[in-house]
Copies of this chain bind each other. A is one copy, B any other.
């Protein structure tokens, strides 16, 4: 199991001893998914908080009209889960699906309290991770009522520099809340402005 990138990521926030790393690895799990597979399905309870070792995923919502709304993309060193469902152990609002073959490192719901008890420093780690997630979520709400589609697209390119080449255009349009045709128009406009 290749947990190196997770351990490096954790070490940016807290220091774990060798013994703590052993406990962490014994209570969490590594899993491979194929392109197209679902990590979470809307309506099921999300059982894992998943750290992306490699690959790319989309988190999306299907509304009553069957329309897909992409709320997040996840690549290496990001997290992928319906955190609300995971934390409250209630049915997921979102789907999380792999856009590429993906390797995840998963924290199981039923091991979290044991993990916190055995490695109290993880409280700090997840407190910091949640801060970042919350801030990103709040920014998303503000952007939706304050930025034009073009500004949201530029913001997206800045926030997700690696993703644009890996993800189909219609999913980026869905994330931005616009049609594929309108995204194409914005891109052409930006090329002309350069």
Copy count, this protein chain: 2
Cβ-based interface call for A103 (8 A): no
Cβ-based interface call for A127 (8 A): yes
- Contact A64 B138, beta carbon cutoff 8 Å: no
Residues of B within 8 A of A94 (CB): 142
- Contact B141 A140, beta carbon cutoff 8 Å: yes
Give the interface SS of chain A, mostly helix, strand, loop or mixed.
helix
Looking across the interface, which residue of chain B has its beta carbon closest to that of A82?
A: B138
- Contact B146 A137, beta carbon cutoff 8 Å: no
- Contact B120 A64, beta carbon cutoff 8 Å: no
Residues of B within 8 A of A140 (CB): 141
Question: Restricting to A18-73, which residues have a CB under 8 Å from any CB of B?
Answer: 61, 63-64, 69, 71
Of B69, B87, B116, the contact of A131 (CB 8 Å cutoff): B87
The interface on chain A, measured as residues whose beta carbon lies within 8 A of the other chain's beta carbons, has a size of 31
Digitize A119-161: 1 where CB-to-B-CB distance is under 8 Å, 0 elsewhere. 0100110110011011101111110111000000000000000
How far in angstroms is the closest Cβ of chain B from A50?
Answer: 16
Measured in the bound complex, the distance between the Cα atoms of B14 and A120 in whole Å is 13
How far in angstroms is the closest Cβ of chain B from A119?
Answer: 12
A84 and B134 in contact (CB under 8 A), knowing A123-B127, A127-B126? yes
Cβ-based interface call for A88 (8 A): yes
Residues of B within 8 A of A124 (CB): 116, 120, 123, 127
- Contact A93 B139, beta carbon cutoff 8 Å: yes
How far in angstroms is the closest Cβ of chain B from A106?
Answer: 18
What are 8 A-B interface contacts by the 8 Å CB criterion?
A83-B135, A87-B134, A87-B135, A93-B138, A123-B123, A123-B124, A134-B134, A137-B141
Kindly list 9 other residue pairs between chains A and B, CB separation below 8 angstroms, not including A84-B135, A134-B134: A63-B146, A69-B145, A83-B135, A87-B134, A93-B139, A124-B127, A126-B127, A130-B130, A140-B141
